[in-house]
């Protein structure tokens, strides 16, 4: 199977130009159908639909239609440039965070070890104040007082709907 891939790669890179163009077209179609690109299509189409179109002016001589073809290309370039800037900044942010983690790797390993040991000690029950079980429970008087209040609000709401 690897021989087939090597033969195809050799044919595309050193073979006829048409074969290379067809391979590039197939790769583009596959990448367009990827889950990363498909969600962007509705926004792109709606963006272009709002920008592209013809403007009609009604004059005494008749209707004059002005087509603006350059706006579609400019809008497409701005759309792609916007996504490019956002993804480049996101990538730079991730690489910066990775670099900061790598610089502090020793400290983070030690802090993580201390936290893990501390959680084990707490779990085994050696620290009594952290072994209490607290649960939120409704107070009886609040449920008894809340029922008539809720009933009166529902009566007011139903009375407003029947009056309208």
**What angle separates helix 40-51 from helix 69-103, to the nearest 10 degrees?**
140
Note the pLDDT tens digit of each residue in 5-37.
788 778 777 878 888 888 888 888 888 788 887
Rounded to an integer, what distance in angstroms lies between the CA atom of residue 73 and that of residue 35? 25
Residue listed under structure tokens 């163009």: 21
Does this model's pTM top 0.85? My answer is no
Note the pLDDT tens digit of each residue in 84-131.
899 999 999 999 999 999 999 999 999 999 999 999 999 998 988 888
């Amino acid at each position: 199977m690897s021989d087939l891939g090597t033969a195809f790669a050799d044919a595309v890179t050193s073979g006829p130009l048409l074969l290379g163009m067809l391979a590039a077209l197939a790769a583009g179609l596959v990448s367009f159908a990827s889950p990363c690109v498909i969600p962007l299509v509705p926004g792109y189409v709606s963006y272009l639909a709002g920008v592209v179109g013809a403007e009609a002016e009604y004059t005494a001589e008749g209707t004059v239609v002005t087509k603006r073809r350059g706006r579609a290309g400019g809008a497409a370039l701005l759309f792609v440039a916007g996504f490019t800037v956002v993804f480049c900044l996101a990538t730079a942010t991730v690489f910066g965070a990775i670099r900061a983690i790598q610089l502090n790797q020793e400290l983070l390993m030690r802090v993580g070890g201390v936290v893990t040991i501390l959680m084990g000690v707490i779990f085994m029950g050696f620290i009594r104040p952290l072994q209490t079980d607290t649960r939120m429970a409704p107070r009886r008087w609040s449920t008894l007082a809340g029922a008539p209040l809720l009933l009166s609000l529902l009566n007011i709401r139903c009375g407003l709907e029947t009056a309208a």
